[in-house]
Amino acid sequence: MAYIDGYLIPVQPGKLDAYRKMAEEMAPKFREWGATRVVEAVEDDCPVGKQNDFHTAVLSEDGEKTIFSWVEWPDKETRDAGWKKMEDYMETAEGPHDMPFDGKRMIYGGFSPIVDQ
């Protein structure tokens, strides 16, 4: 069964183009490492909630945009192997190092689908 990695990422003002460039460079790598789909989406209609919302989830600061993204894998085993390759890649000089977002406020996790229609 498929496995999904999900992310919420706050991107600082003026760095959305840099984020898009990084995402466009990384998506083919994830596909090479076994992912079946990579989606990066920037907030367009994210209302401020009374209790919680996408903005508070990432401790969004003035002018930041929240990215909602996910990577689909055929299964968790492929995802685990892909993550290992991604970590190795990020440690090399070849991988991106100047991240256009605050990684300390990124939220991510792995999910097993329960409905897929």
Token pair for residue 5? Answer: 């990695």
Task: Give the number of domains in the chain.
Answer: 1
Q: What range does the domain containing 91 cover?
A: 3-111
DSSP, collapsed to helix, strand or coil, labels residue 29 as helix
pLDDT digits (tens, 9 = 90+) for 74-84: 999 999 999 99
Cα 95 to Cα 85: distance, rounded to the nearest angstrom: 11
Look at the chain and count its residues: 117
Q: Is 116 domain-assigned? A: no
Q: What is the mean pLDDT of the chain?
A: 92
Q: What is the pLDDT of residues 95-108, one digit of tens each?
A: 556 788 888 999 99
Angle between helices 16-32 and 76-91 (to 10 degrees): 120
pLDDT at 42: 97
CATH number, domain of 89, equals 3.30.70.100
Mean pLDDT of 18-40: 96
pTM of the model: 0.89
pLDDT bin (cut points 50, 70, 90) of residue 93 is: low
